[in-house]
């Protein structure tokens, strides 16, 4: 073992020491520009150890810090203070899920939350077919279980959970029926006076869903009938007479599986 000692300009010194063991010849090249190699308070590069590939952590000329995986160069975690447009700071999680056979539900990356070693919650970005994406939110409800999916936001904007509306619609039931706005509704069927169906874009999983409605006038309401997985039957009724009636602003809201 040998050392090189560099004395300080006024006091103290810096020592470069060869390894305690090992028989290979090693070369350390100093950078070609001036500057400080490492700045710490007093103990060198304390706290940084690595058993990984030499390129596991890189800092590019674009000032992005990238952590990569030697098994797949496409699996990366990148931190950038500015994106290509120069106006965003991003943390990017990239998974190598572009291969053939990979389909909906393949996870590109996750933010995972742990209580010590217990995985208690996560947010995952996933494929929803092709290059389309979805987000999955999971939480853990008992100490010995894995996090369970509570909410998934699909590529078409639907939020699937027990607490988000599966569908809603606001339409005119007078004259020529017309849909003012809707979510997960592909059409409405006008069957008779005050008798309509709100047809779902994506059908419900079963008939055990819950729905309700309203009419944009105080003396009328919307009632329902046996739920159908393909549509929600709704009837606009005059509260006073009990008769079916065509009304503007018929509104229906659906929750369920």
Partner 1 sequence: MVIIYDIDGTLAQLTPAPKFLATLEGTDEEKLIYLANKDLPTGTKYEITDEDLSDRTFRGAWEYVAGATEKTSEDLSLDDQLKYNKITQEEYDANAG
What are the residues binding partner 1 (CB under 8 A)? Answer: 156, 169, 171, 174-179, 181-183, 185-193, 199, 201-205, 230-231, 246
To the nearest whole angstrom, how small is the minimum distance from the Cβ of residue 157 to partner 1?
10
Which C-beta is closer to partner 1: that of 42 or that of 131? 131
Q: List for the chain the helix, strand, coil content (%; round to 5).
A: 0, 45, 55
Which residue in 90, 92, 83, 97 sits closest to 131, CA to CA?
97
- Burial category of 242 from C-beta neighbours within 10 Å (exposed 0-12, middle 13-18, buried 19 and up): exposed
Which C-beta is closer to partner 1: that of 98 or that of 203? 203
To the nearest whole angstrom, how small is the minimum distance from the Cβ of residue 241 to partner 1?
15
Which C-beta is closer to partner 1: that of 44 or that of 103? 103
To the nearest whole angstrom, how small is the minimum distance from the Cβ of residue 203 to partner 1?
5
E strands, the chain, in order: 3-7, 13-17, 57-59, 64-69, 72-80, 90-94, 107-115, 118-127, 133-139, 148-153, 159-160, 167-172, 178-183, 185-192, 195-200, 210-215, 220-224, 231-238, 250-255
Which C-beta is closer to partner 1: that of 122 or that of 196? 196
Residues 143, 42: Cα–Cα separation, whole Å: 43
Phi/psi for 141 (5° steps) reads -105, -20
To the nearest whole angstrom, how small is the minimum distance from the Cβ of residue 173 to partner 1?
9
To the nearest whole angstrom, how small is the minimum distance from the Cβ of residue 177 to partner 1?
5
Which C-beta is closer to partner 1: that of 21 or that of 176? 176
Which residue in 76, 82, 38 sits closest to 57, CA to CA?
76
To the nearest whole angstrom, how small is the minimum distance from the Cβ of residue 222 to partner 1?
17
Which C-beta is closer to partner 1: that of 80 or that of 246? 246
Which residue in 83, 88, 87 sits closest to 64, CA to CA?
83
């Amino acid at each position: 073992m040998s050392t090189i000692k560099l004395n300080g300009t006024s006091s103290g010194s810096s020592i470069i020491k060869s390894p305690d063991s090992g028989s290979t010849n090693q070369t350390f090249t100093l950078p070609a520009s001036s500057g400080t190699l490492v700045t710490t308070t007093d103990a060198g590069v304390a706290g940084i150890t690595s058993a990984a590939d030499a390129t596991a952590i890189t800092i590019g000329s674009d000032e992005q810090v990238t952590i990569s995986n030697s098994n797949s160069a496409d699996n990366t975690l990148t931190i950038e203070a500015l994106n290509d447009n120069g106006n965003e700071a991003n943390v990017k999680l990239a998974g190598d899920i572009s291969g053939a056979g990979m389909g909906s539900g393949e996870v590109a990356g996750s933010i995972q939350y742990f209580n010590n070693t217990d995985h208690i919650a996560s947010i995952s970005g996933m494929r929803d077919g092709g290059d389309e994406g979805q987000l999955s939110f999971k939480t853990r409800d008992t100490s010995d279980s894995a996090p369970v999916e509570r909410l998934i936001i699909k590529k078409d904007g639907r939020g699937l959970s027990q607490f988000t509306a599966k569908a809603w619609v606001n339409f005119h039931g007078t004259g020529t029926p017309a849909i003012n706005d809707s979510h997960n509704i592909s059409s409405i069927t006008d069957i008779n006076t005050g008798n309509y169906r709100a047809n779902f874009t994506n059908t419900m999983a079963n008939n055990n869903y819950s729905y309700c409605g309203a009419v944009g006038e105080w003396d009328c309401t919307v009632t329902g009938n046996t739920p159908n997985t393909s549509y929600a039957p709704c009837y606009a009724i005059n509260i006073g007479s009990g008769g079916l009636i065509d009304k503007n602003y018929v509104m229906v809201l659906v929750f369920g599986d």
